[in-house]
Structure 1
């Protein structure tokens, strides 16, 4: 019998277990009971505060100081690469979110990189906190500081991974929980017919071989949908088309008020959907909880959330069953692991949002590999084919079973062609 959202999740789902769960949508997205959360709200906050105080980065692996000598942002066409070098000759590389970095590059170059120069990179967690105060960066909280900060952090972790011959996952976790990841196929279209969405999902599934799908509802931060009634038609039609064994979810991107969102959620429940993503605008916290209280389907959210403290509220108050922090949008691996740990403390899952450009998909894989409470499926995005690279340990593609292998090489585990990097110029502002 499928478990509902008020049944307690007692253990993490391993990679082998995931493969056996394709046909049980509700049971795969287990979460702590909304109305049976143990202890008082203050007890729950204290538990989460203890978790937030625990280290993430495995500093103990590095006995000697690693002093940062330079942080450079390199640019070529639509590519933004961050290069970190230490005084003793170590180097790390990251590829940023191009869509965001073309706007926020001055923040990295002028407001963040200078702070790290001369610092011991082993103090990464303290530095991530302190740089938000430096030059009053906290006043630009959200994408303006988190995307540049994540870009720097990824390069530092790549450097440490190469120094220790460890993957990024083993720098933020004691073990690899998910060496392979089951993917879901997403469709991001909105202003087209239900029939077109289904046709395009069928086309893309032929490539990804995914056993789960997700599509868009509503009008994206707007209560006006086109064509009118599209969502109400799509929800039953997708289930009818793909059958009972397909795991199906849908994302409203904050399209509804709570009053509008609840009937949509009940229709999803009727057709055994796995989760309901962002039914109301992301910063409508009380309304998110209101929708969660009214429904059995797990509520997912957090891709736009910039605040650790707000995630703390969402978890402690049971507003989310699934946290969806984005590696770039939330400021990097360390911050995202802290949210995953908070979720795990109350039996909730983490299914991170993926930034589409650069190496976002690969950073997501390393993050998922390192957490015990990852969801059973994660979004499939093809790797950036405009980036010349080599990966000795993974094709970075979904195989015939809808599974992607996480790279196991040092650092990111992906080597970018040095000749391509050489085409970039150092950004100066």
Structure 2
């Protein structure tokens, strides 16, 4: 029960310098966290020795990769019982700002539209106001009966101002909690996104202002590359092109064979880890995603290579539901462990944060059920002084939702996931071109999600009935 390793961002002051400074306490907002060395380290030796390795790792990272530490680390065993209560308290705070809505916003209808394999949820309130959300097209084609038979009937006639009550209530209604997982929460998120758009349009405010404070108007991106099965040299060339295409200052790539499957070609990861740093240089922030490829021993071996090459987090080193394995890896390594995209339990996130299983939490905005639930995770992470960097698939308009989410929480981490723009969905956005320039995208500031779907696209769409 070990350390809180914080996020790293470029710092011109550290460029090319060997820093001998010791690790400072973590400052996150107005709260300062410290750390202690006590207990035994499962990697061998004692915790003090582990702490020293982590300091050395941070020093090396800061000097060679020109980063500075924004939030340091502290030890789980230095926390008192009240902190668990603080996590729960943070998660239970209201999300939607109801003061914007003096009058009821009763949901009169909800429908699912499909055009060219893209799925759109449309909700309409009494009085005629509408809201839209593009769903996750990778999954909705198989999941729509849950949306149309379970979620839509539940939200009909309810007051959209009680958004938290809707999200929590549908889970508990008629034993729907038994469906918990990606299949259920993608449907809930799709409905929630449309309701948020509806509410934003009513008061002429972007979604971020409805559920948080606007901390940033531009979002820095990391370019995610999903290539597997290619030789290391070809993969690095693809990563290089991806990074140059949008001027990104950070990149993420895949390691291993996914969920314990054999890697092809053999030895690709070991070669790739060193080659990508050599080709992209020390100015690029690197993340690596194993998608659960390794057991504990192999994850630690790969993790130490990532430390040597100054990577900034190691995502899903072990199968996502092997939480004990992931914790052993986190305890043995200095590099932050990221994860959570497959998880659907709020209280599991609470446990992983409290027990230092993850140092970067990554709830998926669809898979976890939408903004209300993901903001609850972000608030718990903030209490612990760690970033909440959401996961999103490249389907639909996921990148748009990431921009709004990262704009309205204080702790999103320095870079957000970007897998490219979906050009299949025609829309107009008057406040941002949504194009990445020098690795940054401007967040739309129009009402709701800040976009208007092409009316002709909607007119040609077929209504999905279960």
- State TM-score, norm by structure 1: 0.93
Distance change (3 Å), C-alpha of 1:28 and 1:356? farther
Residue of structure 1 equivalent to 2:153: 114
Deviations 1:183-232 (A, max 9, x none): 11111111110000111112222211101111111111015111111111
Deviations 1:387-424 (A, max 9, x none): 1111111111111x211111110000011111111111
Q: How does 1:177-256 map to 2 (within 5 A)?
A: 177-256=215-294
Residue of structure 2 equivalent to 1:363: 401
Distance change (3 Å), C-alpha of 1:248 and 1:295? same
Q: CA–CA distance in 2 between the matches of 1:424 and 1:31?
A: 50
Q: CA–CA distance in 2 between the matches of 1:95 and 1:3?
A: 50
Q: How does 1:25-424 map to 2 (within 5 A)?
A: 27=68, 30-33=71-74, 35=75, 38-40=78-80, 42-173=81-212, 175-399=213-437, 401-424=438-461
Distance change (3 Å), C-alpha of 1:251 and 1:325? same
- TM-aligned CA deviation for residue 282 of structure 1: 1.1
Contact residue 76 and residue 356 of structure 2 kept, 8 A: no
- TM-aligned CA deviation for residue 339 of structure 1: 0.4
1:9 correspondence with 2:59: no
**Structure 2, unaligned stretches of length 5 or more?**
1-17, 31-61
Residue of structure 2 equivalent to 1:427: 464
Partner SS, residue 248 of structure 1: strand
Contact residue 249 and residue 273 of structure 1 kept, 8 A: yes
**Structure 1, unaligned stretches of length 5 or more?**
14-20
Partner SS, residue 288 of structure 1: helix
Partner SS, residue 99 of structure 1: coil
Tell which deviates more after alignment, 237-246 or 143-152: 237-246
For the pair shown, the structure with the greater C-alpha radius of gyration is 2
Kindly report the root-mean-square deviation, in angstroms, between the aligned alpha carbons of the 2 structures: 2.1
Deviations 1:241-291 (A, max 9, x none): 111111111000010111110011111111111111110111111211111
Contact residue 28 and residue 382 of structure 2 kept, 8 A: no
Distance change (3 Å), C-alpha of 1:343 and 1:155? same
Contact residue 2 and residue 26 of structure 1 kept, 8 A: no
- TM-aligned CA deviation for residue 32 of structure 1: 3.4
Q: CA–CA distance in 2 between the matches of 1:262 and 1:254?
A: 13
Distance change (3 Å), C-alpha of 1:284 and 1:48? same
Contact residue 327 and residue 355 of structure 1 kept, 8 A: no
Partner SS, residue 410 of structure 2: coil
Contact residue 388 and residue 412 of structure 2 kept, 8 A: yes
Distance change (3 Å), C-alpha of 1:103 and 1:166? same
Q: CA–CA distance in 2 between the matches of 1:135 and 1:234?
A: 49
Q: CA–CA distance in 2 between the matches of 1:2 and 1:170?
A: 40
Deviations 1:6-34 (A, max 9, x none): 86431369xxxxxxx9974764574532x
- State TM-score, norm by structure 2: 0.86
- TM-aligned CA deviation for residue 169 of structure 1: 0.5
